[in-house]
Amino acid sequence: MLGGMMKWMRLSAALLAVLLLSACGATRRAVIVQPSDGAVPSRTSATAPAHASGSYHVARGDTLYSIAFRHGVDFRDLAAWNHIAAPYRIWPGQTLRLSAAGGRTSAVARSNTPVAAAGRHPAAAPVFEQVTPQAPPRAPAPVAETAKSSSATSPAATAAAPVPPRPAVAAEPSPKGATRNSGGVDWRWPADGPLIKRFQAGDAIPGIELGGKAGDPVRAAADGVVVYSGNGLVGYGELIIIKHNDSFLSAYGHNRKRLVKEGQRVTAGQLIAEMGATGASRDELQFQIRRDGNPVDPLEYLPAR
């Protein structure tokens, strides 16, 4: 009888050990990752989800284009990921996903529809209502008032002092310059200053820099619609972004003064800003071209000087 009891106790102890080991194996979810450089190992969960690309909270002054520009994505992808249809309205406080759900690539169709010739609208509608600058009202000419009062008393006085016609105010013509058609867009240089920095892939602010002095003219590099005019992107100062077609945007940074508003249509060579040093250590124009959200070398699109 004593032998049977001892055998039962040994079986119970063995069964308890198996249960304890099984329980430990079921609850342990952390693994040790040993880096190749010999640094302190980190603990990560074996069942941790894939790291998300992040999200963005819309701030006052943002546009879908400026958010896409800031994060280096195509505006059509950003709209598709967040189920935003044209005309792409967003509002402060809205949270936007910065990548496709589940890491899938976007199925947004790419269109290289070129911008029409000068004087015609681009193929894609702008996000904003068109802004038409208006000249301030003019005070009545003193001569006209004199003539009016004279006509009430003496027809001869009216004949002697006719009302001179107002001279027509001619709009400043866009300067002519060499152009180069690339990607369905006729490009021209946005400023006359020398090239002081070339494009380098991987730069935090990828583009070229053109020298000059404060107040020098900055002009649209091609026909398009202004989709951003503000100073909300760190490192760019006073910034203007122009959409030329569904694939191409151009950006003009560090301006002293912006002369166009969001939604305004511009033509190649039109004055859009004054060169400055906002967000920079010297007076310069920081110029970018982006194709489908990706920075490209502007020198491959601009005409040879």
| Residue ranges, CATH 2.70.70.10, the chain | 180-300
Pick 176 or 235 by higher pLDDT.
235
Which of the pair, 113 or 235, is modelled with greater confidence? 235
pLDDT (tens digit per residue) in 217-270 = 999 999 999 999 999 999 999 999 999 999 999 999 999 999 999 999 999 999
Report the pLDDT value the prediction gives residue 29, as an integer from 0 to 100.
Answer: 26
Residue 17 has pLDDT above 80, yes or no: no
What average pLDDT does range 121-139 have in this prediction? Answer: 42
Higher pLDDT, 237 or 26: 237
Q: What is the DSSP string of the chain?
A: -HHHHHHHHHHHHHHHHHHHHHHHHHH--EEEE--TT-PPPEEEETTPPPPP--EEE--TT--HHHHHHHHT--HHHHHHHTT--TTT---TT-EEESS-GGGPPP-PPP--PPP-STTS--SSPPSS------PPPPPPPHHHHHHHHHHTT-HHHHHHSPPPPPPP-PPPPPPP---EEETTEEE--S-SSPEEE---TT-SS-SEEEE--TT-EEE-SSSEEEEEEES-STTSSEEEEEE-SSSEEEEEEEEEEE---TT-EE-TT-EEEEEB-TTSSSSEEEEEEEETTEEE-GGGTSPP-
Residue 30 in this model has a pLDDT that exceeds 50: no
Instruction: Just give the CATH number of 55-103.
Output: 3.10.350.10
Q: Tell me the sheet residues that pair with 209.
A: 197, 286
Residue ranges, CATH 3.10.350.10, the chain = 55-103
pLDDT at 209 over 70: yes
Q: pLDDT at residue 146 above 60?
A: no
Residue 1 confidence (pLDDT): 55
Instruction: Look at residue 37 in the predicted model and tell me its pLDDT.
Output: 36
Q: Note if the pTM is more than 0.85.
A: no
pLDDT tens for each residue of 59-92: 999 999 999 999 999 999 999 999 999 889 999 9
Question: Domain 180-300 maps to which CATH number in 3.40.30.10, 3.40.50.620, 1.25.40.80, 2.70.70.10?
Answer: 2.70.70.10
**Would the pLDDT of 105 be above 60?**
no
pLDDT of residue 2: 55
| Lowest pLDDT segment from 100-109, 247-256, 275-284 | 100-109
